[in-house]
């Protein structure tokens, strides 16, 4: 869904004023550094702007600071997440403190990778389907 022009302008401004946790996570995600996945930062989707977005996985990643603890902000985040889910976009949320600690950042990146890279289906390792010719198969 194409975002309104004003949303694009806001996204551009947000890219110039990223918070420290957003900058740290962006350094780990940019240029396909995480499993070859491509992410966009401060990406507009409809009327909303997500911190990071992986179009191939339809995955949004949000970094939440203290402002997201307020009741009004929690309600807004829930409405936004519901709207994004209706558009087929999954949202992962991480606390700013988790992104800023090296030992926790690795876990954050692993969770993002797991959500973005689909698990192998096992279709290639399964035996072939039974032959439908009746009787023994002749080669």
> Is-above-0.85 flag for pTM?
no
Q: How far apart are CA 48 and CA 130, in angstroms?
A: 50
Q: Out of 7-11, 35-39, 45-49, pick the least confident.
A: 7-11
Residues 17-38 have pLDDT tens digits of: 888 999 999 999 988 888 888 9
Band of residue 76 on the pLDDT scale cut at 50, 70, 90: confident
Q: How far apart are CA 112 and CA 4, in angstroms?
A: 28
**What's the distance, Cα to Cα, between the start and end of the chain in Å?**
53
Kindly list the structural domains of the chain, giving each domain's residue range(s) and its CATH number in brackets, ordered by start: 5-116 (3.40.960.10)
Residue 135 has pLDDT above 60, yes or no: no
């Amino acid at each position: 869904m194409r975002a309104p022009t004003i949303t694009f302008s806001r996204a551009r401004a947000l890219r110039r004023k990223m918070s420290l946790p957003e900058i740290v996570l962006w350094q780990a995600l940019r240029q396909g550094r995480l499993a070859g996945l491509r992410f966009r930062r401060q990406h507009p989707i409809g009327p909303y702007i997500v911190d990071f977005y992986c179009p191939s996985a339809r995955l949004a990643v949000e970094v939440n600071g203290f402002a997201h603890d307020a009741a009004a902000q929690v309600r807004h985040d829930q409405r936004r997440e519901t709207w994004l889910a209706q558009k087929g976009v999954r949202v992962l949320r991480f606390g700013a403190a988790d992104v800023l600690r090296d030992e926790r950042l690795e876990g954050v990146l692993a969770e993002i990778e797991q959500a973005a890279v689909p698990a192998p289906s096992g279709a290639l390792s399964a035996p072939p389907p039974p032959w439908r010719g009746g009787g023994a198969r002749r080669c």
